[in-house]
A = this chain, B = another copy of it.
């Protein structure tokens, strides 16, 4: 395998250009989706010629796959990650509230994440493997992290921690989708704190009957 200027052996072509193309591709694909993005505009955004793009990636589909794969595995992989060890020492109510708040801060922390999710959802028919990669790296991360907490936290005696984790993540992600992605804020107004408080209460308040 060829060696490049930057000394990295894991790519056979100039890493700088590859990075520029991926960055330009991210800008264009996340803004317009797969079909509405042209390789001309990717090249312009990357400040290289179109031929250079095709020197680094076999075709449009390859570039898209490589780009989304990288976003799924690196840039956004920890976006729904659990809280720090420090926070985990607090009472469950606080831990879960913090977890939910972190997840919903995504809009401000990673401004491109909403577009990223839009593309994943929109292209999940044409690119099922990218959708699965999203589930494995992002949905599953959030889910497993919560699930572990639900299982090991002594105060919470949940009958089904796994299913409860799904409910939790579902409520949060769906809230994000309706309010932000689908522009539903003005139609179905709901303060974030109110949703989180209700969701957390449903889980931490002990039921009277335990079969």
Contact = CB atoms under 8 A, between A and B. Distances in A.
Interface of A: 31-36, 115, 118-126, 128, 131-132, 134-136, 139-140, 143, 159-160, 162-164, 166-167, 169-175, 177-178, 181-184, 187-188, 190, 194-195, 197-199, 201-203, 205-209
Give the number of times this chain occurs in the complex, counting copies. 2
Nearest to A198: B163
Nearest to A191: B163
The 4 A-B pairs of least Cβ separation, nearest first, read A122-B122, A170-B174, A163-B198, A35-B35
- Overall SS of chain A's interface: helix
A119 B143 CA distance: 26
Contacts of A160: 194, 197-198
B163 A132 contact: no
A202 to B, nearest CB: 5
Nearest to A182: B131
Given A140-B187, A203-B202, A205-B209, A118 B118 contact: no
B122 A183 contact: no
Contacts of A171: 166-167, 170-171, 174
Given A121-B177, A139-B188, A167-B195, A206 B203 contact: no
Contact of A202 (B118, B202, B209): B202
